[in-house]
């Protein structure tokens, strides 16, 4: 892989992770951590580098093939099939969270009174179209979005910092509670470690020299966005009030609109975030499609894509009318553990591959 393509993947990674970390993880950390989010964010992000290392390592074993294609040579057909099924279920279920997040965000802020099913229908049709474009198009789409997201992130950070109560800063370093630290670390780790889906970028994109370093830069960038967003949310709204805010960055934008600023640019900033969410959700469905195609021997993708999208939309439809169940599942620590188990799949394969590579006979058979 060329250096240029490595950076392209890094930009895609930044866009892919940004929507989840900046919009949904910050409120969760604020509500559970109070002043103690720094340690959890830092350690959770550092753990994410372990997963990234093994994703790149496994991806390099067969650069011209997707993990779903050659993984059975590492784990065996039965175990590999089980992991593919679990990853398929995870991507479809995770995509339903994304769709429901769209419903909640737009239904409570911009499309009040609109039936949830209508918002889900529009989002599902867009996802269906984007997935059909393929992984290469998704990655290239993120190139333009990266610049827009980077610019809007800097702008929002500036507005955050403008009214921050810096006298609260010492509180960030004078309080520590081990259970809170553990839960925050796991929550951060589960969100910033979705690298397993990047194994499905092959053969359109392959991992090579410099891939890990470039993707690590994207990971660090997202961690800094997450850390600054969490910190400035507390410095702007105080721990007590911040816990009651569902979308902190939206409150900042609204405040600037009330001050006569951002009146015309606010919809643009929301549109940029929406596009990044669509890429996140679409790539999950794309990954699920490749998992399903493993069992159909590459046949029937024209039916698989709408079928998986329909299942995700169906789960989201249920959650739209059972919000208490959605909140319980979304913020459950069990959900965090399930996410981590799935995201550790590259670690499992990487360790087994390292052990098997010691056998020259096995390695010659794979190459």
Domain span including residue 227: 3-366
Least confident span in 17-26, 278-287, 317-326: 17-26
- Residue reference for tokens 């890990």: 212
Mean of all residue pLDDT scores within the chain: 84
Would you say residue 356 has pLDDT above 90?
no
**Mean pLDDT over residues 155-172, rounded?**
75
**Mean pLDDT over residues 190-214, rounded?**
89
Would you say residue 1 has pLDDT above 50?
no
- Residue 298, Ramachandran bin (φ over 0: left; ψ between -120 and 50: alpha; else beta): left
Q: What percent of the chain has pLDDT over 70?
A: 89
Q: State the pLDDT confidence band at 2, using cuts at 50, 70 and 90.
A: low
Number of domains in the chain: 1
Distance CA 137, CA 76 (A): 32
Distance CA 273, CA 20 (A): 10
With both helix axes pointing from N to C terminus, report the angle between 211-242 and 178-192 in degrees, rounded to the nearest 10: 130
Q: How many residues are there in the chain? A: 367
This prediction has a pTM of 0.91
Buried residues in 206-243 as b, exposed as e (16+ CB within 10 A): bbbebbbebbbbbbebbbebbbbbbbbbbbbbeeeebb
Bigger pLDDT: 91 vs 366: 91
| Number of Cα atoms under 13 Å in the Cβ half of residue 156 | 30
For the stretch 212-259, pLDDT in tens is: 999 999 999 998 888 888 888 888 777 777 677 777 776 666 666 555
Q: Largest Cα–Cα distance in the chain? A: 70
Q: What is the CATH number of the domain that holds 356?
A: 1.10.4160.10
For the stretch 41-78, pLDDT in tens is: 889 899 999 999 999 999 998 888 889 988 998 999 99
The H or E element containing residue 113 is none
């Amino acid at each position: 892989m060329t250096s240029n393509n490595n950076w392209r993947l890094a930009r895609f990674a930044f866009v892919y992770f940004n929507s989840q970390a900046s919009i949904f993880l910050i409120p969760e950390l604020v509500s559970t951590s109070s002043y103690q989010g720094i340690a959890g964010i830092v350690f959770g992000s550092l753990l994410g580098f372990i997963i990234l290392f093994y994703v790149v390592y496994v991806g390099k074993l067969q650069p011209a093939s997707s993990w779903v294609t050659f993984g059975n040579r590492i784990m065996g057909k039965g175990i590999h099939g089980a992991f593919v099924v679990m990853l398929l279920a995870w991507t479809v279920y995770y995509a339903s969270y994304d769709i429901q997040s769209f419903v909640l965000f737009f239904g409570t802020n911009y499309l009040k009174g609109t039936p949830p099913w209508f918002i889900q229908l529009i989002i599902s049709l867009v996802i269906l179209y984007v997935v059909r474009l393929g992984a290469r198009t998704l990655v290239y789409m993120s190139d333009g979005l990266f610049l827009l997201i980077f610019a809007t992130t800097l702008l929002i950070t500036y507005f955050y910092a403008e009214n921050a109560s810096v006298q609260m800063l010492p509180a960030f370093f004078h309080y520590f509670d081990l259970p809170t630290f553990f839960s925050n670390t796991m929550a951060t780790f589960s969100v910033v470690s979705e690298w397993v889906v990047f194994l499905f970028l092959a053969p359109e994109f392959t991992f090579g020299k410099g891939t890990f370093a470039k993707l690590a830069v994207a990971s660090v960038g997202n961690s800094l966005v997450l850390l600054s967003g969490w910190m400035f949310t507390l410095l702007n709204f105080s721990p007590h009030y911040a816990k009651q805010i569902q979308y902190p960055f939206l409150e900042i934008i609204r405040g600037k609109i009330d001050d006569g600023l951002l009146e015309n640019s606010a919809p643009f900033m929301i549109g940029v975030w929406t596009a990044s969410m669509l890429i996140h959700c679409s790539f999950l469905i794309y990954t699920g499609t490749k998992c399903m195609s493993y069992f159909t021997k590459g046949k029937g993708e024209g039916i698989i894509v709408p079928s998986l999208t329909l299942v995700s939309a169906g789960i989201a439809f249920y959650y739209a009318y059972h919000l208490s169940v959605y909140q319980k599942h979304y913020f459950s620590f069990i959900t965090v553990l399930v996410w981590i188990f799935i995201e550790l799949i590259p670690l499992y394969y990487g360790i087994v591959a390292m052990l098997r590579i010691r056998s020259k006979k096995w390695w010659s058979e794979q190459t």
